[in-house]
A and B are shown apart, each in its own frame.
Chain A
Amino acid sequence: MKKLYFKIALTIVALSFSGCYELEKTNPNKEVEDTFWTTEQNLFQGLVAAYDVLNATGLYWESIPIIHTGMSDEGTNNAPYEFNALVRFQQEDLNAFQSIWFENYAMIGRAYAVIENADNVATEVAYEYAAEAKFLVVLAYFHLTHYYGPNIAYVDGVQTPADRPKRAEDGELYELMAELLTEAVPDLPIASERGSDEYGRITKGAAQALLAKVHLAKEYLYKSAMEPDYESAEALLREVVISQEYALLDNFHYNFDEVIRPFSYNEESLFHVNWQFDSPYGEAGGKYQWRFRLFSLGEARGAFGDLQATDYSLTEFRKEKTEDDEDDPRLEWSLFFDGTDKTYYCEDHEFWVEVAWDPESTNAFYKYSEQGRAEGSGACAVDWYDGGTDFIVIRYADVLLLLAEVLNENGKTSEAYQYVDMVRERAGMPTLSSAKPGLSKEEFFEQIKHERYVELFSEYVRFYDIKRWGMYGPQLADFDTDFETFTVGQDEYAAIPQDELDKNENLRQNPGY
């Protein structure tokens, strides 16, 4: 009898070890990351999330327009706002503008979720998504390294809360960026393979052009320990041109105003940030329209609000004249200057100068301000409800000028002329071949600086150019008085947010802070 009971007892014990309730629980309310990244559809959603950051405050919605313009020698500031100090290199708050850090790393993190999980799906489409994601990682690093310098946190995969990424050594991020884009290029379709509903997606040409820019920034990213890789850049830029996927628009200014432009597809754009055209500002916090360049259209001061063009900018535009001895036709589409025929929200230049912070300073930015809409609709009031013009990050004119620049660097100055000519001709300027034939390598390079200034003015490109050309310093004070307060050995790079340094002891503050 005892034995029987004992057997029963043992059976009970044995049974109990099997367990009745499941210890593996899955959240019934939400998708869980562990199981999410397994389909093409979900991978695409992850990719969209990475693109989504392009519209964020720390990127093209606010910070890049302000910082890339204000901190280059194109823009200056005399308004009493927070970034005033920043553009004069007097920022004392080491945690200012943290969204630049957070959101670019968010783009990197979201993109790596796609890159790392593409193997789960392992289809051609999945790897195409991964290639697009790699482009976005590089773009984010391009922003970060040019703002914070090359020694930021080195993130090359999805992070866990326990991760404290290392500090990138000189050039390490160049190598990572070059590697990612080199991998991405073969997996990407060319522009004409994209349907019109895919306009805005990353293409092979965009990746090749960005990779060329990375190669040209090699010296900057290696802190002068290496030369720019002109050879690789030339090959890539040539491929873009040879592909015949892109062309200059007949009208220069069509690039900057979707209202004026009679067609939507812009063959001059290699890559742009897509904003929803004509959507209400209030929707989703306004993230589908960009805030122009934050030149305070909400302000009574209008064009002369938060940030304005330097006095020097007009001088640069007037260096060369048309054959009829007129101003460069690009001037009136780029600057709102004393003597322009253009209006700003239906008011002329004189009106705005009177309400400016500093009436002595008469140059304002005009490009991308969508005056076509204001005039066309008669909506002359300051209108926040329309900021839908897509912002072109890589424009074909930029590619042509870069190609001319690298050809010149590679000793092929005569071959380089044709590409500058294309850009000048479209703008309505005499060709360089006719205006300034036979320039030396050095002279040609000086000419390239001018060409890039007037063609790409206030397109947030010059900030990168002056950094990679090693010009970023007090010598720019002649063009932009903000640089008078530039501290050599410090202001080459912005301060890494102090909070980040506190949270990750692998990082170090940039010198001088």
Chain B
Amino acid sequence: MRQTINIFNKKCWLILILTLFGSILTLHAQRTITGVVTDENAQPLPGAEITIKGEATGTITEIDGTYSIEINAEENILVFKFLGYEREEVTVGNKTTIDISLSLSEQSLDEVVVVGYGIQKKRNITGAVGVVDMDEFYQGQSVSMSDRLQGRVPGVQVVSTGEPGARGNIKIRGIAFLNNNNPLYVLDGVLLDDSPIINPNDIESIQVLKDASSAAIYGSRAANGVIVITTRKGKKGAPRVSFTANAGLQSLPNKIETVNSARWAELDNSANDNGGFPRQALAENPPDFTTDWHDAVYNNQGLLQDFNLSISGGGDNSNAYFSLNNAYQEGIIKGPRFDRTTLRLNSDYTFLNRITVGENFTVGRSRLVGLSQYFEGISNPIADIYGMLPVVPVYDPTKPSGYGVGEIGRAATLTANPVAMNDMYKNRSTDIVLIGNVYADIELFEGLNYHFSVGINKGIGNNKSYNKAGLIRVATWHQSGLEEVRSDEQTMFLENRLTYTKSVEGHNFSLMVAHTEQETKSSYQSATSIGGYDKEPYFWQISASTANVTSAGGESSWALRSYLGRFTYDFDDRYFLTGIIRRDGSSNFAKEGRWGNFPSVSAGWNIAEESFFNIDMISHLKLRAGYGEVGSATEVPYMFQSTVTTNPQQGISYYFGADDETRYFGSSREADDIVNRDITWQTLKEVNLGIDIELYKGKVLFTGDYYMGNMENLLTSVPIPGTIGAPEEVSPLVNAVSMKRNGYEIAITYRDVKGDFKYNISANGFHLNNEVTELPYGVTELGGGSTRVGQPVGQNFLIEYIGIYTQADIDNLPDGFTILGQTPVVGDAMYTDIDSRDENGDLTGEPDNRISEDDDRQIIGNPVPYLQYGANFDVSYKRFYISVFFQGITKRDVYNSYYAELNTAGGTTFTADFDPYLNGEGTEPRLVTGESGNNLPSSRFIENGAYFRLKNLQIGYNIPLKPFQDFKIYLSGQNLLTFTKYNGLDPEFEGGIFSPGFDPMAFPNVRTVSAGLSISF
């Protein structure tokens, strides 16, 4: 009869359970087992759960820890469970009394995890949800939350830079879309598009919803994955005060060595000689000094400091958490500095035993001062270092502004003097943010909860930049100017949520339904004046300008309305089911395409709980499978609305009248705004298969996920025919591209305690892959040839370099062989001729003895690493601890933009290791000024971009000191070691979406050495 029940359980469990279960069970009970459950200290554990393995039946212990349970066979196994304690299994045999002592759990499977609009036990999760180990997270030294996630969760790629205040760029499971691949951030229920400006120390937990089945609860916002952040709350008990301080110095870990003046002169002369140009004066007679532009720009002692104070506490009915944080970061180049101050207050209050009201708020201000990486696109000090020449002095009193600049015919470079740039151009941007919500939780009756919240995300930005007039670049006198831009963005959130939970005989159900809305309103105003600041004393205000002031401004708004629901079911820790449906309507789409439905379903089966499963070492073995559909909108409002030019400034007008006196202004559909009214959701449909294994009672944890997804209706700009009626080609957004992707992610943790010795080793890695499956409207390539059907997005598309010509090679050349129309000579770059075009401009696939960038480019290597990984080692002995964190990627083929820029002819210095063919020697192409095949971008600059980096090393000691509960001091280092073959400044970089392998010469990661203190009482 028991067998029968089991079969029914599987087949039609719902009806049977609710009606028959109890009575049948009581009829067929056979034996009674009794005993006491205690903790490690032999104290009774009331409320501990005892179940028969493989069955739903069970009981719980009484207040004194005793229990009594009826079983029907000797081979039964009893499972003892208590939250926060190790789970134990005991085979009954012929015992009638089983007393057991449970030990405290090191394990986290019983942790609750915030999964969006609710919580779930980690054990019950059926999707791919990455849970960040917060101990590791807090050890990060970066002032940004995003950077601290690097290498922590498989599938989550973080690319950081050392730019002050920069928040690392996060991608979850790689590229899904061609416009935006930023994940959604959910901070205490408030949905944010960007990594929030918050204090990392305030964060209680971070979960990453990676797959479509788990992210579907965020529907149209979730296609790039979701990072769910929950901040700290006060805990019951005496007030707890914590203070942490951390200060360090940053430096550049790597430097590209460049040539001295004499060598520059030699090389520059050879370039001009070979190109048939006259030599430059300063190359003919190089000065006896060499300017080290690297030293002139880098300061290499950028200060980093971070202070944090928090006070928290709580009583029976209320709790509060308050924190104050200040972080300050200087750049490793002279000039930029960042500071951030945040305040947080989280509190809640419970009354009438069933109503809780609370709030979470943070207010922050961040400020970036000085010329940072880019200034209006004209300068990038990181790259400018290498654009300047060793023969140009930093300061030159003979020049109008006193700075050394390039000079045509003497030492030509178009690069702006980066020191002058920093001195003359001032920039200050301030952001004030307010993020938070107020909420009420009401228990309507047992099992049914109502949650209501109102949230806000407000940001006020103020950017002011100004500069004196001067000369900081060859033959370019720039005017003085000032620009101020103020922007304001505010999003309001509303949420109504009902959650019902019910447990019947081991069957746990929950049903959540919710309605949410959000509306964003933004506006900006700007004022600019060029040329009005030429007399001392300078007043850097708009009103002080003596020139014209131009102003601009605008507003926009969008809203999202959503209805969502989630059903979960689990039975006996064995079977888990989650179903989600979300329906989103966005104001950014026209009525017809406005609403999108995003369903998902996922299930899990914990085999370890089955009665037939008796491998002792495995305490948890869960298989997971899920399918979900998520979407992505365009974030730009009004994209479906064609606008009309009515502004006379836009020039549409015509004169009528015999005397041509009357100019009439016209209106037409705006060419820039010819839009596709039909644009709608981009969708990701993804299958996720996963496995979670727990060995040796939690000492070893393994999680693996495999996913495959199809992205459909991806928005891309497609040039449309001129028959649309615009005077020039327009490329509106259309939902047209399709892609697929797949990948796997694994994470493994091993932890143990041996006496005073505790250790925790974790490692994770992931692989991802994507492929374009469809391009629209006859478009054969995107991204200038880097992206085609059947290939991943963003390949290196270059001509292939195969060395330099020797005399023998030249002798063997076919007649008429040319490179860019020129006949190669010894020392010239040799490229592979692969293709040609016929008279119609179509590729023929046949080589034509003519090398050109137009037809001989090919895909070179793979710019995406096969594997990205992180590994963490924590060891503590008594009060000492050491923590080591590595992060890296395997081989990827990257384009070294530094070398490409420097080691070709034309207005830059050269790297010290450059070895061009000169005077009959050399391994690299000779330098030729002017048009030459030797100056082409090619695979010559492709390098292996793999790296293995010691991201973080921390050594600390906990000092026993009354009255402090905790008094920890530590030394920490970031980016101390990097193993790479890449010759550029930093192998950790992110190129554009269509050029992921191209080094953008951005701000490199910095090495930081710091000391810190953490106390609490």
Contacts and interface: CB of A to CB of B under 8 A. Distances in A.
Interface of A: 1-2, 5-6, 8-9, 12-13, 15-17, 19-34, 36, 42, 44-56, 58, 92, 94, 98-99, 101-103, 105-106, 108-110, 112-113, 153, 155, 158-165, 196-201, 264-265, 274-277, 284-285, 287-288, 388, 390, 497-500, 502-505, 513
A163 B777 CA distance: 11
Contacts of B496: 12-13, 15-16
A113 B668 contact: yes
A44 B643 CA distance: 17
Contacts of B410: none
A99 B661 CA distance: 28
Interface string B821-846: 00000000000000000011100000
Contact of B778 (A17, A55, A503): A503
Contact of B498 (A13, A44, A49, A498): A13
Contacts of A505: 778
A106 B725 contact: yes
B722 A101 contact: yes
Contacts of A5: 444-445, 448
Contact of A165 (B558, B642, B675, B723): B723
Given A30-B643, A30-B670, A276 B723 contact: no
A103 B654 contact: no
Given A13-B496, A275-B655, A23 B587 contact: yes
A158 B725 contact: yes
Contact of B587 (A8, A24, A103): A24
A25 B723 contact: no
Given A22-B587, A103-B727, A161-B675, A196 B658 contact: yes
B181 interface: no
Given A2-B445, A23-B559, A101-B722, A51 B677 contact: no
B219 to A, nearest CB: 15
A109 B644 contact: no
Contact of A200 (B656, B670, B677): B656
Q: Which 10 A-B pairs have the closest CB atoms?
A: A109-B725, A48-B666, A49-B666, A16-B515, A45-B667, A49-B668, A5-B444, A33-B642, A264-B658, A21-B559
B669 interface: yes
Given A161-B676, A276-B663, 17 more contacts: A6-B445, A12-B452, A15-B496, A24-B591, A28-B555, A29-B555, A31-B646, A33-B644, A33-B669, A36-B667, A48-B654, A51-B654, A51-B666, A264-B658, A390-B660, A499-B719, A500-B721
B652 interface: yes
Contacts of A21: 492, 517-519, 559, 561
B450 interface: yes
B656 A198 contact: yes
17 contacts: A6-B448, A9-B448, A9-B498, A23-B561, A23-B594, A27-B637, A28-B555, A28-B556, A48-B664, A49-B666, A52-B668, A56-B727, A105-B724, A155-B723, A159-B725, A274-B655, A498-B841
Given A13-B496, A163-B724, A502 B558 contact: no
Contact of B720 (A9, A161, A274): A161
A179 to B, nearest CB: 19
Contact of B660 (A162, A277, A503): A277
Nearest to B594: A23
Contacts of B588: 25
A503 B721 contact: yes
Interface stretch (B137-145, B728-736, B794-802): B728-736
Interface string B700-726: 000000000000000000011111111
A261 B676 CA distance: 50
A102 B722 contact: yes
A32 B515 contact: no
B665 interface: yes
Contacts of B677: 160
Of the candidates B561, B655, B678, the one having the most CB atoms from chain A within 10 angstroms of its own CB is B655
A102 B727 contact: yes
Contacts of A30: 643-644, 646, 670, 673
A36 B642 CA distance: 10
Contact of B654 (A25, A94, A274): A274
Contacts of A17: 515, 563
B814 interface: no
A163 B678 CA distance: 12
A274 to B, nearest CB: 5
Contacts of A274: 654-656, 660
Contact of A161 (B556, B652, B661, B674): B674
Given A45-B667, A155-B723, A162 B445 contact: no
B663 A161 contact: no
B445 A1 contact: yes
Contacts of A94: 840-841
Contacts of A110: 666, 668-669, 725
B651 interface: yes
A19 B561 contact: yes
A280 B341 CA distance: 56
B513 interface: yes
Nearest to A195: B657
Nearest to B500: A9
B654 A31 contact: no
Contacts of B653: 48, 52
A164 B727 contact: no
Given A52-B666, A98-B722, A103-B727, A27 B655 contact: no
Interface string B542-578: 0000000000001111110101000000000000000
Contacts of B676: 160-162
A285 B650 CA distance: 12
Nearest to B726: A106
A503 B557 CA distance: 34
A513 B840 CA distance: 8
Contacts of A502: 778
B643 A201 contact: no
Contacts of A6: 444-445, 448
Nearest to A109: B725
B495 to A, nearest CB: 9
Of the candidates B519, B668, B729, the one having the most CB atoms from chain A within 10 angstroms of its own CB is B668
A388 B663 CA distance: 14
Nearest to B516: A16
